[in-house]
Amino acid sequence: MRVVRSVRSIQQLIRKAKSAGKTIGFVPTMGALHDGHRSLLRRCHRENDLVVLSIFVNPKQFGPEEDFGKYPRREQADKKLAKKEKVDIMFVPTAEEMYPEGYLTYIEVERMTHVLCGKSRPGHFRGVTTVVGKLLNIVMPDVLYLGQKDAQQAAVVTRMARDLNFSVIVKICPTVREADGLAMSSRNEYLTVSQRKEAKVLYRSLREARQNVTAGNHSAMAIISKIRSRITRAGSGRIDYIECVDADTFTPLKRIQGKTMIVLAVWFGKTRLIDNIIVHA
Ligand code: AMP
């Protein structure tokens, strides 16, 4: 495995691989790798000749009051895991490498970035699409692997790739969960022991909601209010949002029809967790 820090060096390696006719799969991350990232890397390895992993805690997708400073950074452990998962190139640029002095260019997807996480985290998706756009231009992968856990991010990046004619296939991989159902996330480690116990209510309430939809309850308001009271009863979680949305456009829905996503964001202390489930009505 090659650990590469400069854009120039990775571009050289990519050019070589391309001219040898290799297919390239790409998994962008912010590191502190866990089994969720691992599942993306495994699929990437099964489906491509060359596996590229990036680790970059992107300052542009964090708000001024957010956790950029304390976000876990552990390159050595990540390197070990990446090797085990047969990553060929681990790209670990610095912020200066990605955004040299004088940097002025941003990618912005409209409308669908102004709701849900976009509303609570202004500028977040602009940072995400800008960095993913840059990484796609640098790595030039055939396939990009994203996780369903960050559903709005996956939908926004898919929209960007389509709208800007990036020549890449976007594949969205299922959410990997802890034994009690909590979606794996690098941010779970911020939780206290009691918050961690309470946090399992998120997926439980989503699963109950799916059962309710299957049983014929198609009113978004009714489904949302059940989830809300389930979470509120479970302990200290403070709800940021719970919505039923169209799975592609993220438009909020009043009635659950066809393929719908139920999405939520809940605060436990200073930690904001997100999760979602897909339902069919
Ligand atoms: P992050 O490092 O949190 O920015 O995540 C990097 C990629 O891994 C994103 O595409 C995430 O959606 C994906 N990912 C994170 N957690 C999980 C999980 N629990 N299951 C599946 N994919 C995940």
| Ligand 1 atom 10: residue of nearest CA | 146
For the domain with range 2-173, which CATH number is right: 3.40.50.620, 3.40.50.300, 3.50.50.60, 3.40.50.280?
Answer: 3.40.50.620
How many angstroms separate the CA atoms of 228 and 241, rounded? Answer: 9
* pLDDT digit string, tens, across residues 6-31: 999 999 999 999 999 999 999 999 99
What amino acid positions are annotated as catalytic residues?
Answer: 37
- As a whole number of angstroms, the distance between CA 27 and CA 16 comes to 19
Ligand 1 binding pocket includes 260 (Cβ within 6 Å):
no
Mutation probe of ligand 1 site: the residue of 149, 274, 278 with most atoms within 8 A of C-beta: 149
- Looking at residue 248, its pLDDT comes to 83
pLDDT digits (tens, 9 = 90+) for 91-121: 999 999 999 999 999 999 999 999 999 999 9
User: What is the C-alpha separation between 72 and 84, in angstroms, rounded?
Assistant: 20
Is 51:41 a contact under the CB 8 Å cutoff?
A: yes
The CATH classification number of 186-276 equals: 3.30.1300.10
Burial of 41 (0-12, 13-18, 19+ CB in 10 A): buried
Q: Give the pLDDT confidence score for residue 146 in this predicted structure.
A: 99
- In this prediction, residues 131-154 reach a mean pLDDT of 98
| Pair of tokens at residue 92 | 């670990």
Please state the rounded mean pLDDT for residues 41-52.
Answer: 98
d(CA 28, ligand 1 centre) in Å:
9
Structure-token match 């978004």, residue found = 220
- Is the beta carbon of 41 within 6 A of some atom in ligand 1? no
| CB 124 near ligand 1, within 6 Å | no
Banded pLDDT at 160 (limits 50, 70, 90): very high
- Please state the rounded mean pLDDT for residues 171-200: 98
DSSP 209: H
For residue 176, which atom of ligand 1 is closest to its CA?
20
Q: Structural domain boundaries of the chain?
A: 2-173, 186-276
Per residue in 186-217, pLDDT (tens digit) is: 999 999 999 999 999 999 999 999 999 999 99
pLDDT, residue 249, reads: 87
pLDDT beyond 90 at 277: yes
- Ligand 1 atom closest to residue 40's alpha carbon, by position in its atom list: 22
Q: Which atom of ligand 1 is nearest to the CA of 39?
A: 21
Which helix (H) or strand (E) covers residue 27, if one does? Answer: strand 24-29
Q: Is the CB of 53 under 6 A from ligand 1?
A: no
Stretch 247-276: mean pLDDT, rounded? 95
pLDDT in tens, 209-250: 999 999 999 999 999 999 999 999 999 999 999 999 998 889
Q: Is the CB of 135 under 6 A from ligand 1?
A: no
* Ligand 1 atom index nearest CA of 150: 12
The residue whose CA is least distant from atom 7 of ligand 1 is 29
DSSP of 117-186: HHHHSTTHHHHHHHHHHHHHHHH--SEEEEEGGGHHHHHHHHHHHHHTT---EEEEEPPPB-TTSPBP-G
In which band, very low, low, confident or very high, does the pLDDT at 169 lie, cut at 50, 70 and 90?
Answer: very high
- pLDDT above 90: residue 51: yes
Give the burial class of 97: count Cβ atoms within 10 A of its Cβ; 0-12 exposed, 13-18 middle, 19 or more buried.
Answer: middle
